[in-house]
Structures are given as C-alpha cells and as structure tokens.
Amino acid sequence: MDDLTLSTLTWLRMVRFVQNSNQLSNDHLRQFGLTVAQFEALAHIRNFQPVTQTDLAKGLTVSGGGISRMLARLERDELITREQTWKTKHISLTEAGLETLERAFPSQLHQQSALFDDALDEDEQRTLHALMKKLYDHSIAERAKAEEGD
C-alpha cells in the first residue's frame, strides 16, 4: 500500500464512504419496502415523469438489464406504471408510488444529513461541498471528452 498516492487513497476513501452510506440507506429504507436504487429511481421518475426507460437508466447510471428488472419489481409492487408507445416505454409514478416516496423522502434525507451533521461542522461541510462540486464538474468534463472520442 506504500505505492498508493494521496489521490488514490482519497478516491478509495470516497468509494468506501459511498458503499457504507448506501448500506446504511438500504437498512433505513427497508422500513418503506425500498432499496437505495429503487428510492433513487422513484425520485428520478417523480422529477421527470413521464420519463423514458432509456433516460431513467442514463440518469441513474444503471444498465438496461438492471433497470428492466428494477422496473418490473416496482411495477409488480404497483409503485409505477409503464406505457409503451411504439418502441419507447414511458414511466410514471402511481398514487401508491408517490405516497411511498413522500413518506420515505424526508426520512431518507434526515438519515443521510445526519451522517454529515454528526461528523462535520458547518465550515467543514462547506469546504467538502465545494471540493466535491469541483471534482464532480471535472468528472463531467472528462466524460464529455471521452464521449467525443467515441
């Protein structure tokens, strides 16, 4: 491990934080019958409905097969509807899906906020936010460059 750079160690720490945060969220969201991926899908659908399955997969960075399985379960649980128009599937929340999300959303926000509020003071949170925004913006620019090369 001596050959790892600070950049690599920072990246590994971020990955571990996200994995741990997702596990905590999965445990927390179980009370609503949801996983983190399902919660994120429902929130994305609510914000962009009706959304195509392709756009949802891109917005969630999930593979086509992965999104199909998740949507099949959400549809079976009557949280979403899928309407097909020719080759395009449009997804919307059902009333039950909206109610589930409205119950889960504030609770999930509180659970995630507590991870930061309990560990970092306001100045540290502002600094972390600024640094994460800078890294995110750089990663978006790198993706755009990579897509231009395709």
Q: How many residues does the chain have?
A: 150
Structure token pair of residue 125: 């949170």
What is the reported pTM? Answer: 0.83
Task: Return the SS3 of 94.
Answer: coil
Q: How far is CA 40 from CA 33, 70, 76, 128, 148, in A?
A: 13, 11, 18, 23, 28
Q: Is residue 10's pLDDT more than 70?
A: yes
* Predicted confidence (pLDDT) per residue in 55-73, tens digit: 898 888 777 678 888 999 9
Give percent of the chain above pLDDT 90.
73
Residue spans of alpha helices (H) in the chain = 6-29, 36-48, 53-60, 64-76, 95-117, 122-149
For the segment 102-115, the average pLDDT, to the nearest whole number, is: 96
Q: Is residue 3's pLDDT more than 90?
A: no
Give the pLDDT band (50/70/90) at residue 1.
Answer: low
Spell out the domains of the chain, with CATH numbers in brackets. Answer: 6-119 (1.10.10.10)
Using CA atoms, how far apart are residues 116 and 17, in angstroms rounded to an integer?
11
Using CA atoms, how far apart are residues 146 and 42, in angstroms rounded to an integer?
29
* Predicted confidence (pLDDT) per residue in 79-98, tens digit: 999 988 888 889 999 999 99
Supply the pLDDT for residue 60.
Answer: 86
